[in-house]
């Protein structure tokens, strides 16, 4: 890794890096975007992550994408000095202006390298495969941000080389390239599809220093001819930095390696499947759920005798369909061909629990509905505990919150105990209730919660009304959504820590300032 880092920075020439050992004759080539690595350790961590993608040989293209922290010390120091050292607003404004000007110049200088890298990428890939004697039957190209731009431009720049390589799918994540690109030409040499992962929460592309309508924020317009070759995948909860940390999820969700055959019923484009896949508040969250969260949902829903899944199911699509069914009236489900949206389920649960909002429920943020439902359930549970158990319950939740939140240990049991309920915290709550055997004390949904918790310990529970299931499901999906938002926040904090360490800034002061925002 040391040699590759030094060589690329010395020659400024892109280089191919093998990530782990070869795994068969399917090759994934990953192309990073702007400002990807600040040091060798970050590069090493990234290649180790790529090596963990199973079922393919994993190679990355390491190209001179720079990092915005390079040579940023002077303007950034002026900003920090003005804001934290008591300087005037004028000095801070000048410093911010210099930092912004530097960033724009730096980004444009890196962006100018894209065409140069793209011109030779595919021919050099062919040479690399020949030199390494890698047996390759199928190649998938995966690019993020400017890396996606490189891939698109490379297919346009070298159509002959593209036809000679066994190119299958091109996965574009948060792509920094215009939606009006010639996608018919881009997809012409592919055996598979162009898969565009986009998100309206990708604010990095929204402030990109030009007026491009980027595919990372918007779907590629599909003509009848393109529908068979281009797929748009809306990852509603992703920001620009979410793709690499959740790469395994994206690979599985988009079926990049074509492993999904047989996992979903043959009617995978039925009205039920389409409705579930288009439920942007539910399906992407389940795709990003942890194994223990999927297990909890599966066991919860499987307790209902009419459920069409069993407790072993872990597929997000099947779980989404089942939850939507349980949220709707059976006869109405038959009439419309599917259940109801997760938003409607959450609103119905809130109404049945008697939760009041200051505005019409259909205008309330979904996360606020989930938080109110969870807080309502937990407070009802705490009210039925004796003083000693209530204290132990609060301690367990707070410990779980600190474990989950990392540097953001700003948890307050008094206002919203639900901020702790993610991953290990959910398991902690489950264990607490099981040990004390008090789950049936919760009004309205007590029996359902007891059943859910008993299932975790391997005891088959009775089947109850769907409302009991959906109430607990809203709690768990809210947990998943809070965890994802917190993980994205922690990624931003990692960047702040890099800045603090790179410029030897007053750590405590900076962290207090950031945490207060």
2-65+114-253 CATH fold: Rossmann fold (3.40.50)
In this prediction, residues 28-57 reach a mean pLDDT of: 85
Residue 423 banded pLDDT, cuts 50, 70, 90:
very low
Q: Which positions ≥6 away from 19 have C-beta within 8 Å?
A: 30, 47, 48, 50, 51, 58, 59, 60
Q: What are the pLDDT digits (tens) for 326-361?
A: 988 777 877 788 889 999 999 998 988 889 999 998
Q: Is the dihedral of CA 243, 428, 291, 288 positive or negative?
A: negative
The pair of structure tokens assigned to 126 is: 């062919």
- Model pLDDT, residue 111: 77
Residue 267 scores a pLDDT above 60: no
Report, in angstroms and rounded to the nearest whole number, the Rg of the chain calculated over CA atoms: 25
Instruction: Show the tokens assigned to 210.
Output: 């030009």
Name 230's bridge partners: 194
- Taking alpha carbons only, the member of 18, 104, 4 closest to residue 64 is 4
Three-state SS for 110-158 is HHCHHHHHHHHHHHHHHHHHHHHCCCCCEEEEEEECHHHHHHHHHHHHC
Q: What is the pLDDT of residues 190-241, one digit of tens each?
A: 999 999 999 888 888 887 766 788 999 999 999 988 988 999 988 877 888 8
Question: In 3D, which of 147, 156, 145, 149 has the Cα closest to residue 122?
Answer: 156
User: Domain limits of the chain?
Assistant: 2-65+114-253, 68-111, 271-489
> Which residues, in sequence order, are CB contacts of 448 under 8 Å at separation 6+?
464, 468, 469, 471, 472
Instruction: Tell me the C-alpha distance between 368 and 474, whole Å.
Output: 12
* Res. 58: pLDDT tops 70: yes
Average pLDDT over residues 444-462: 38
Residue count (the chain): 517
Whether the CB-CB separation of 438 and 422 falls below 8 Å is answered with: no
**pLDDT value, residue 392:** 73
Highest mean pLDDT: which range of 150-164, 257-271, 440-454: 150-164
Cα–Cα distance measured from residue 429 to residue 386, given in angstroms and rounded to the nearest whole number: 16
How many CB atoms neighbour CB 335 within 10 A? 9
Model pLDDT, residue 453: 41
| Sheet of strand 138-144, all strands in order from the earlier edge strand to the far edge | 15-19, 57-62, 26-31, 138-144, 167-173, 194-198, 230-234
**What per-residue confidence (pLDDT) applies to 195?**
94
The DSSP secondary structure of 275-342, one letter per residue, reads HHHT-TTTHHHHHT--HHHHHHHHHHHHTSTT-SS-TT---HHHHHHHHHHHHS-HHHHHHHTS---H
Taking the CB of residue 210, how many other CB atoms lie within 10 A of it?
10
Q: What is the pLDDT of residues 301-311, one digit of tens each?
A: 887 877 888 88
């Amino acid at each position: 890794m040391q040699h590759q880092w030094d060589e690329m920075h010395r020659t400024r020439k892109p280089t191919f890096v093998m990530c782990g050992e070869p795994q068969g004759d399917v090759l994934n080539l990953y192309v990073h975007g702007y400002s990807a690595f600040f040091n060798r350790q970050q590069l090493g961590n990234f290649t180790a992550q790529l090596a963990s993608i199973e079922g393919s040989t994993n190679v990355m293209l390491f190209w001179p994408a720079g990092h915005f922290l390079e040579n940023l010390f002077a303007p950034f120091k002026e900003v920090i000095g003005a804001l934290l050292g008591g300087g005037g607003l004028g000095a801070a404004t000048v410093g911010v202006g210099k930092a912004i000007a530097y960033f724009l110049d730096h980004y444009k200088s890196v962006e100018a390298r894209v065409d140069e890298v793209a011109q030779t990428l595919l021919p050099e890939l062919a040479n690399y495969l020949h030199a390494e004697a890698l047996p390759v039957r199928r190649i998938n190209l995966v690019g993020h941000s400017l890396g996606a731009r490189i891939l698109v431009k490379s297919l346009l720049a070298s159509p002959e080389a593209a036809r000679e390589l066994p190119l299958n799918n091109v996965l574009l994540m948060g792509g920094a390239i215009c939606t009006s690109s010639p996608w018919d030409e881009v997809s012409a040499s592919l055996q598979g599809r162009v898969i565009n992962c986009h998100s309206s929460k990708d604010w990095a592309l929204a402030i990109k220093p030009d007026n491009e309508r980027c595919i990372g924020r918007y779907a590629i317009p599909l003509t009848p001819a393109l529908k068979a070759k281009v797929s748009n995948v809306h990852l509603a909860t992703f920001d620009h930095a979410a793709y690499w940390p959740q790469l395994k999820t994206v690979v599985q969700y988009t079926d990049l390696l074509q492993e999904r055959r047989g996992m979903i019923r043959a009617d995978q484009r039925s009205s039920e499947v389409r409705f579930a896949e288009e439920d942007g508040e539910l399906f992407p969250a389940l795709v990003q759920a942890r194994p223990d969260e999927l297990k909890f949902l599966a066991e919860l829903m499987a307790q209902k005798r009419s459920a069409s899944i069993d407790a072993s199911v872990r597929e997000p699509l099947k779980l989404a369909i089942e939850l939507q069914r349980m949220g709707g009236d059976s006869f109405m489900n038959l009439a419309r061909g599917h259940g109801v949206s997760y938003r409607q389920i959450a609103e119905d649960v809130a109404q049945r629990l008697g939760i009041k909002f200051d505005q019409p429920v259909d205008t309330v943020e979904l996360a606020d509905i989930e938080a109110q439902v969870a807080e309502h359930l937990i407070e009802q549970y705490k009210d039925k505990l004796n003083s000693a158990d209530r204290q132990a319950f609060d301690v367990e939740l707070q410990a779980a919150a600190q474990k989950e939140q990392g540097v953001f240990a700003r948890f307050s049991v008094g206002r919203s105990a639900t901020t702790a309920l993610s991953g290990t915290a959910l398991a902690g709550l489950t264990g607490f209730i099981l040990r004390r055997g008090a789950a049936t004390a919760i009004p309205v949904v007590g029996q359902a919660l007891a059943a859910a918790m008993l299932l975790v310990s391997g005891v088959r529970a009775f089947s109850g009304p769907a409302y009991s299931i959906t109430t607990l499901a809203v709690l768990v999906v809210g947990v998943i959504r809070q965890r994802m938002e917190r993980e994205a926040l922690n990624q931003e904090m990692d960047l702040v820590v890099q800045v603090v360490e790179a410029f030897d800034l007053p750590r405590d002061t900076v962290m207090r300032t950031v945490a207060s925002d």
